[in-house]
Amino acid sequence: MQAVVVGCAPKQEVLLPEGTIVFALRRAMRAGRNKGHGCRPGNGVSRQNAVNIRAQSWRRIAAVLVAIMFSMGFVLAPQSAFAAIGSAAKPSPAVVPRGDCPAVIFIGARGSGEKDLAAESGLGPELNDLYQQMAKDLSGKLKVSPHSVVYAAASVDVLTLSKNEQNVLAALLPFGGAGVTAFTVYYVKYHLDLYLASINEGLKVATADLSADAAVCPDARFVLGGYSQGALVMHELLLNLSDNANKGDAASQALLRRITATVLIADPAKKSNTAAMHFGTAPLSAQGIKSFLTAGDRDVPTPSSTYDLCNLGDFVCDFSLATLVDKASFKAGINVHINSYEGKNKNTANALVTNTGSKIAGTLLSQLPGVVDHLSIAPATATVTVGTSQAYTATAVDPFNKPLGDVTAETTFGISPDGSCQGPCAHRPFLGLTPSKE
């Protein structure tokens, strides 16, 4: 191994593997080559004068690295993954004028570096393929319209490490500990945060889009979709709606009821072992880059209606620190992220994506206005003496929470002593009026 200089003072000398570039990150220097870097003559250390230290002194190296990062102004604290947005985002143009509303509105947020192309309805190729398949399956049955979220989406190029940064991480990974932690904080601040900088903007616009479309088209159902950064936008949107709904916000509760499905393709915030419906070649244990590197990420709050699509080795949704070190592995991971959810050419679509579109179309057909979704039972509470009977009224309710009439005579259900309902009143969705056995 070879001793190298990480600063101008002798006490900052550390031992790194042969050929390792000095840990000064964006202004690194090789051992003994400190001219022109602001060091005073005589403070450099040559190869011949390098200080030998034992392998177990790597703890000292980690401590020095942390000290260096402090001296360079790095903030060693969790960083917000979202950049502040100075002004409130305005919604994208309304999908349709009142009176000409579709039955289904697909709101999609395109992914990293993708252009807002009219040929793809502004959705990007991945989401456009999904939307087109869904629309095809619903053709002649339900009218559907796309609505793209207009926001900036940074390129994945900002996630790339320089050669110097790769060398530093390679030296730290075998030993873990404070050194890797410090580097992770550095990477989040100077790479990941740049990648995620537009998420707040996208979240505000997507929220405004959903609210505006819901007001203009009160009977429409929604499908949400996002790819890469767009997936994180929709992930956060669901969390916000769920949080507000749990606090009793009626508007958020109403919006959640109208969202039939959400598709997250290559979600940076994918949680390991997500409760969402997982598809793709990546294992269920795969973890997104944001979820891996930052604390506090939460799983989707609507797992039974959320599709999580992630392919093996995708740098964004199946992340590993080791992939950052090797140039070939990193390139392969980015290639999976960019290309594995598209068709092989303009005339073909990706089966993983189109199959998801077809599944959602099937769900939508079961949620047509007028189809029974659940039963509303009255009275909601009652005190009944054992051995006596209690009369109840059952009203069929559709997916839009609209009553379809009294179906007491055609429906059988029971109320257990603990108050739980046994029968169709307890099941959602309940798609027919066939009497249920108690």
327 token code pair: 């140039």
Task: Provide the sign of the torsion angle of the four alpha carbons 82, 85, 90, 93, taken in this order.
Answer: negative
Rounded Cα–Cα distance for residues 127 and 134 (Å): 11
Q: Which SS3 state, helix, strand or coil, does residue 294 take?
A: coil
Are 90 and 208 in contact, with CB atoms under 8 Å apart?
yes
Q: How many CB atoms lie within 10 A of CB 325?
A: 19
What structural domains does the chain harbor?
A: 2-79+160-189 (no CATH), 104-154+196-365 (3.40.50.1820), 374-426 (no CATH)
Per-residue pLDDT of the chain (438 residues; tens, 9 = 90+): 333 333 333 333 333 334 333 334 433 333 333 444 444 444 444 444 443 433 344 445 544 554 555 444 443 333 333 433 333 455 565 555 556 899 999 999 998 878 777 767 889 999 999 999 999 999 999 999 999 999 988 788 889 888 889 889 989 998 888 989 999 999 999 999 988 888 989 999 999 999 999 999 998 999 999 999 999 999 999 999 999 999 999 999 999 999 999 999 999 999 999 999 999 999 999 999 999 999 889 999 999 999 999 999 999 999 998 888 888 999 999 999 999 998 766 666 789 999 999 999 999 988 766 667 677 888 877 787 877 777 888 888 776 667 878 877 766 666 665 556 555 554 333 333 333 333
In sequence order, what DSSP letters do the residues of 372-404 get, joined into one string? --EEEEESS-----TT-----EEEEE-TTS-EE
